[in-house]
Amino acid sequence: MLNYKLIKSISKSTLVHYKMNKKSLLSLEVSTGKYEDFISVLSEYAVAKKSTYTCVANVHMLIEAYNDIAFASIVNNAEVVTPDGMPLAKGLELLHGEKQDRVAGMDLLPDLLGISEKENLKVFFYGGTQEMLDQTKSYCNKEYPLLDIAGVISPPFRSLTLEEENEYIERINSSDANFVFVALGCPKQEKWMASMKGKINACMIGIGGALPVMIGMQKRAPKWMQNASLEWLFRFGQEPKRLFKRYFYTNSLFLFLFSKEYIKTKLKISNS
């Protein structure tokens, strides 16, 4: 359970002064630190209404970045890139020799909502179907009764016109939101957040599949599977047809690429 006391000094800050360190993991530059460090810096961005975006990175995102240099640049230019998947957290530990907490979107989202409720920060949800957003509002009204939901937008499943884009920017900024939680799925949500940097005055976080899990539309893997890096297998069991190609391609390629990098790193150390 997150200790909300750690946020008290941040809620009084006027300037964002903290920047997270990043370390290389194949195609990505992943932010490192304790879980509480991520909570602190994201809350600070939100209080200051600094136009930033955060990518919650898993193996799927890493492989997308490996295959697409332009997408890799988008992710690596984010202020924060969290090691969402256990393979990324363990990968950082094996390559760089320092223990790294997993910083999963499924944990970040409820914790940041709890902090927002406690510290009177406004939140905005962008993406997903209207049905999912309606369920999100109902869930938040029950679990976070004092939370200020500044607004929700379910954009059309196509490219936006310039008029639509400007309307959404105006709606979000005029709502005075501190956090904008973006649920468009990878890589669409990362590309959208990058395009909105400097336009939307809030801390944007790509939460992807964390939202339907939080509100109960999907189930989360039991703790032992999370700790064993098998959460992907649990999700695969729920949606095998949709996830078969993604998981078996991306997971296999990740294991191959990481093994090569790990061996190269060990050989370099032994020869130095």
The DSSP line for 134-176 is HHHHHHHHHH-TT-EEEEEE---SSPPPHHHHHHHHHHHHHTT
CB 34 within 8 A of CB 101: yes
How high is the pLDDT of residue 242? 67
Is 167 inside any structural domain?
A: yes
Q: Taking 70 as the threshold, does the pLDDT of residue 6 lie above it?
A: no
Mean pLDDT over residues 73-82, rounded? 98
Q: Higher-confidence residue: 267 or 136?
A: 136
Is 109 inside any structural domain?
A: yes
Is 21 inside any structural domain?
A: no
Our count of domains for the chain comes to 1
Cα distance between residue 20 and residue 112, in whole Å: 18
Is 16 inside any structural domain?
A: no
The tens digit of pLDDT for each residue in 19-33 reads 799 999 999 999 999
The tens digit of pLDDT for each residue in 183-193 reads 999 999 999 99
The tens digit of pLDDT for each residue in 51-63 reads 999 999 999 999 9
Cα distance between residue 237 and residue 115, in whole Å: 33
The tens digit of pLDDT for each residue in 113-164 reads 999 999 999 999 999 999 999 999 999 999 999 999 999 999 998 889 999 9
How high is the pLDDT of residue 208? 84
Give the sign of the dihedral formed by CA 63, CA 240, CA 125, CA 38. Answer: negative
Is 74 inside any structural domain?
A: yes
Q: How far is CA 201 from CA 75, 173, 193, in A?
A: 19, 6, 11
Is 20 inside any structural domain?
A: no
Banded model confidence at residue 265, pLDDT cuts 50, 70, 90: confident
What's the chain's average pLDDT?
Answer: 88
Which stretch of 68-82, 219-233, 253-267 has the lowest confidence by average pLDDT?
219-233
Is 13 inside any structural domain?
A: no
Q: 């999370």: which residue's tokens?
A: 226
The tens digit of pLDDT for each residue in 219-253 reads 666 676 666 566 666 665 666 666 666 677 888 89
How high is the pLDDT of residue 12? 46
Q: Taking 60 as the threshold, does the pLDDT of residue 11 lie above it?
A: no
Is 19 inside any structural domain?
A: no
**Number of helices (H), then strands (E), in the chain:** 12, 8
Residue type, 110: P
Which structural domain range is residue 257 located in? 29-272
